[in-house]
Amino acid sequence: MVMTESVVKTPALSARRTTRRRPGRGTQRRQSVTALAMVGPAVLLLILFFLIPVVLTFALAFTNARLISPTPAHFTGLHNFRVLFDDPLFYKSLRNTLYFTAVVVPVQAGLALGLALLINAKVKGVNFFRTIYFLPVITSMVVVSLLWEFMYQKTGLINHAISGLTFGHVHGPDWLANPHTAMPAIIALSVWQAVGFHMIIWLAGLQTIPAELYEAADLDGATGWGRFRYVTWPGLRHTRTFVLITITIAAFGLFVQVNVMTHGGPLDSTSTIVYQAINTGYAQQQTAYASAMSLVFFALVLAVSLIQRYLTREKD
């Protein structure tokens, strides 16, 4: 009888011992205040530098507001958009932006993947090459643009190298002063500067592919191309989507290189939508017109990103 009672009481005692004391209201309040204090600065910055500018862009695009003007702004409807779609410079900037994006996205993604495959091999000195390839990424784009601007001059380093390699038979042009070579010169600079960043992303994706898949491919007699086609490329599905979307968004936002090196010239051959919007909003002080241009740019980037996401989706 005594043993039976002890058996019955044992679960109740153990449950009582394992019951945790709930925090009081004071403790919960302190935890909530601490959480708000930690999240507060980030939320404040997000509101100041993202939410408010977005709301102002949507609001100002339908007015005649200027950056500095004694006349108060008033609602003008779709007037800014009608002017924008009749502006030949806008279409030229749009063509330049699409041209830059169409070249940079495949070239930069492919080159970065090739570098990632090279440095993913287990050889001596691979960390040195990783550092060299990534070094331009951490360098300011303004500094890089200034350096390459000197290199692209008529008497710059690039033309000296061309002349030396051809024993003086070929002389390079003034790259940034020629409408036919200015945008290709900016493309080469942009690919060189950012390829290291996407190389790291590709490398991270490569290192998530199980080694057992490569061992199975070797047992099946797969060649190097077969290993890449049936193991590496399918294993990089999610990485591929991320890389393509980030490169596309960055390419559409081309501004610093143009602002530093060419100022949209020569003959507007390097003018882009972002450069035109910023130049219109600040240099010409047409804030409303620049806001309308920014909305069109936002819609364009969103549409391209959604299409790209759809084309690179996982298929059943």
Whether residue 288 contacts residue 102, with contact meaning beta carbons closer than 8 Å, is answered with: no
**Per-residue pLDDT tens for 238-280?**
899 899 989 999 999 999 999 999 999 899 999 999 999 999 9
pTM: 0.83
Instruction: Tell me the pLDDT of the chain averaged across its residues.
Output: 86
Q: Angle formed by the axes of helices 88-119 and 237-252, to 10°? A: 140
**Per-residue pLDDT tens for 68-88?**
877 888 899 899 999 999 999
Listed in sequence order, the residues at least 6 apart from 48 whose beta carbon sits closer than 8 Å to its beta carbon are: none
Task: Confirm or reject CATH 1.10.3720.10 for domain 79-311, answering yes or no.
Answer: yes
> How far is the CA of 91 from the CAs of 25, 85, 140, 300, 310, in angstroms?
62, 8, 30, 13, 26
pLDDT of 24: 63
Spell out the domain ranges in the chain.
Answer: 17-48, 79-311
Distance CA 177, CA 155 (A): 13
315 C-beta neighbours (distance < 10 Å), count: 5
